[in-house]
Amino acid sequence: MDQARCNILVSTDPSAVVTAIEVLSNDGIVALPTETVYGLGASIASPRAIGRVYSVKGRPPGHPLIVHIADPDDLERYGRDLTPQALQCAQHFWPGPLTLLVRRTDRVPDVAVGGSSVVGIRLPANDFTRAVIRGLGDAVVAPSANLFGHVSPTTAMHVCDDLGRSVDLIIDDGPCLIGVESTIIDCSQDRPLLLRSGGIDVEDIESVLRTAVATDLGPSRAPGMLTVHYQPHAQVILARDIHDAAEIDQEVRSSGRSSVIMRHHDRLPLYASTLYAQMRQADRDHCDVIIAVLPGERGLGRAISDRLSRAAAR
């Protein structure tokens, strides 16, 4: 790890939790691990730090940030008029990769949510980050810790590569276990709505809520869900299956360009957890084309296909 380029502290360092809390309390920004991807955290009570999160990422101001909490009881500090669906989901899936959109309380400043009346709240399954939020005594708002539109970071090194010393502190807690972002469900109205597929299967949510979850992945609902997103520098070409991938690979190579076929397409958890790292590695290797087999639309396959399709859109 290149310490000169970034201020990195390993999560097992005895001073790491206290140092992260100190930085956050002093209007600083800290890259924190979660089970999905690394987040770029700011205290919800620091408008200055929140402003820096947007500018460091190059993220447009209208795109709301997710509020990260440490304990289920915190849901009511930041969310109000909670629907039975929101409460059921929180109880069943937290801690875990699920973000719930609910109406916000006054504790959530306009600047964190682009003035929206709803807020995305999530309780990550990462003990380090929860200890930091608990110690801070307030929520941490965090988008993924990558440059806007780029591939999300699943290691501390990825954060360092994208953001360098613009981040006050990066906590290294090893590679993220899940590797794709949280599932986002809008629970602010009677009918639950899927805004982003992610680490929790929508089928599991439907079976807990005993109702179908409608899908609306349009840009109007979740301002950050652009068609062109999660993009490596290499061109991404999607393949139906591994034979199709091999054919594309041959064609690309015969045209004089370099290519790589993404690994683990037939083992969904491993495909998800290595997805972004494989794309970043291909870029480091100056690969021209990344070929990715689309998994089926069930379970984690839905989230993987979604990210691959956005990565392939030009």
Closer to ligand TXA by Cβ: residue 28 or 64 = 64
Closer to ligand TXA by Cβ: residue 187 or 225 = 225
| Closest approach of ligand TXA to the CB of residue 171, in Å | 12
The Cα 134–Cα 68 span in angstroms is 11
Q: Which stretch binds ligand TXA (CB under 6 A): 11-19, 34-42, 131-139, 283-291?
A: 34-42
The Cα 191–Cα 212 span in angstroms is 9
| Ranges within 144-183 binding ligand TXA (CB under 6 A) | 144, 181-182
Closer to Mg ion by Cβ: residue 144 or 154 = 144
Residue nearest ligand TXA by beta-carbon distance? 224
| Ranges within 207-226 binding ligand TXA (CB under 6 A) | 222-225
Q: Are 37 and 276 in contact (CB under 8 A)?
A: yes
Closest CA to 105 of 21, 16, 44: 44
Residue nearest Mg ion by beta-carbon distance? 144
Cα 70 to chain centroid distance, Å, stands at: 17
The Cα 33–Cα 156 span in angstroms is 8
302 in contact with ligand TXA (CB under 6 A)? no
Closer to ligand TXA by Cβ: residue 34 or 43 = 34
Question: Residue 312 belongs to what H/E stretch?
Answer: helix 300-312
Closer to ligand TXA by Cβ: residue 224 or 295 = 224
String of DSSP letters for 11-22:
TTSTTHHHHHHH
Q: Which stretch binds ligand TXA (CB under 6 A): 116-124, 130-138, 160-168, 291-299?
A: 116-124
**Contacts from 154-157 at CB under 8 Å and sequence distance 24+?**
154/37, 154/38, 154/179, 154/273, 154/276, 154/277, 155/38, 155/277, 156/1, 156/8, 156/31, 156/33, 156/38, 157/1
Distances (CA, A) of 137 to 68, 119, 158: 12, 19, 28
CB atoms within 10 A of CB 304: 25
The Cα 59–Cα 230 span in angstroms is 13
| Ranges within 53-112 binding ligand TXA (CB under 6 A) | 63-66, 97, 99, 101
| Binding track, positions 257-296, relative to ligand TXA; x by CB under 6 A | ----------------------------------------
143 in contact with ligand TXA (CB under 6 A)? yes
Starting at the edge strand found earlier in the chain, the sheet holding 235-239 runs: 235-239, 289-293, 259-261
Selected binder of ligand TXA within 11, 34, 155, 274 (CB under 6 A) = 34
| Closest approach of ligand TXA to the CB of residue 108, in Å | 9
In the complex, the residues that contact ligand TXA under the rule CB under 6 A are 34, 36-37, 39, 63-66, 97, 99, 101, 113, 116, 118-120, 122, 124, 142-144, 181-182, 184, 222-225
